[in-house]
Amino acid sequence: MVSKKIYRTLVPTASFLLVLLFVYTATSKLLDLDTFEWRLAQMPHLSTHADLLQWGVPFSELTITGLLLSPKFRILGLYASFALLGLFSIYIIAVLASDHPTPCSCGGIISTLGWREHILFNGAFMLMALGAILQSRRQTK
Amino acid sequence: MKAKFFKLLLPAFAIIMAVGMAFATEEANSTQTGYYNHPILGVQAIPTDCPETGQVLCMEGQWQVFKDPALTIPLYERFE
């Protein structure tokens, strides 16, 4: 009973907040595509793929948004959110470990965060997605 | 009614809010033009997102970046 109540609350709340995050960051990137491309071009290891990534990253975020909004694919969307945020976090850790920290290429006001704050921010959203995944798996068993 | 709220209105609200926030904060994050003094080419303009406050000087390669072409207002890196 309690588990069902948590499921009913946690999964929609996590999906709502992830949709908010991905739509916000994707829109911010698309609104200022030149800046986003320029920031990508400054990043170690990614600069050669800046052309592809400037479209690929917002497209991925909006695709995941679509999955999260569809009740049928919501769980897949939560997995994809967790994976994408995980990839971003791994890259941030790699940048922090390198000698050449570069400006964050994330969209909107989030780009004003420092790298360490960004890891915490991503970690919080990853935890939330993971909680929703675990809760939905428990519910479907 | 409650189900309809969660299925339709809440996602629509999330999207509208996110897009609105993106437009509202766009100005605060856009790049500005920065300038540095190249020893051969002279003062060069580049796009930068370095703010006017900070601790670590903003650099373009080995050259310091300034806010103005007269190279009097230094810019700083936005990260730690």
Residues B43-67: pLDDT tens digits?
888 878 788 888 888 888 888 999 8
CB–CB contact B21 A115 (8 Å): no
Is B68 at the interface with chain A, CB within 8 A? no
Measure in Å the smallest separation between the Cα of A95 and chain B Cα atoms.
Answer: 12
Measure in Å the smallest separation between the Cα of B21 and chain A Cα atoms.
Answer: 7
CA distances from A89 to A104, A131, B11 (A): 12, 18, 26
Q: Got the DSSP string for A26-73?
A: HHHHHHTHHHHHHHHHHSTTTGGGHHHHHHHHHHHHHHHHHHHHSTTT
Q: Which residues contact B14 (CB under 8 A, 6 or more apart)?
A: A16, A19, A20, A23
Task: Give the per-residue pLDDT at A100.
Answer: 59
For B3-16, write each residue's pLDDT tens digit: 666 677 888 888 88
Please determine, for the modelled complex, whether the ipTM score is greater than 0.90: no
Cβ atoms within 10 Å of A110's Cβ, excluding its own: 18
Residues A9-25: what's their mean pLDDT? Answer: 91
CA distances from A68 to A12, A41, A54, A103, A134 (A): 9, 30, 22, 29, 16
Cβ density class A6-41: b for 16+ within 10 Å, e for less: ebeebbbebbbbbbbbbbbbbbbbbbbeebbbbbbb
Is B27 at the interface with chain A, CB within 8 A? no
Answer whether residue A118 shows pLDDT above 90: no
- For residue B64, how far is the Cα from the chain centroid? 18
For A29-81, write each residue's pLDDT tens digit: 888 887 778 777 777 777 788 888 889 999 999 999 999 998 899 999 999 99
Ramachandran region, residue B56 (left: φ > 0; alpha: ψ -120 to 50; beta: rest): beta
* CA–CA distance, A23 with A17 (Å, rounded to integer): 10
Nearest to B17 among A20, A69, A101 (CB): A20
Q: How many residues does chain B have?
A: 80
Cβ atoms within 10 Å of B64's Cβ, excluding its own: 15
Q: Tokens in use for B20? A: 């609105």
For A69-103, write each residue's pLDDT tens digit: 988 999 999 999 999 999 988 888 877 776 655 65
For A121-130, write each residue's pLDDT tens digit: 999 999 999 9
Is B6 at the interface with chain A, CB within 8 A? yes
Q: Tokens in use for A141? A: 């068993």
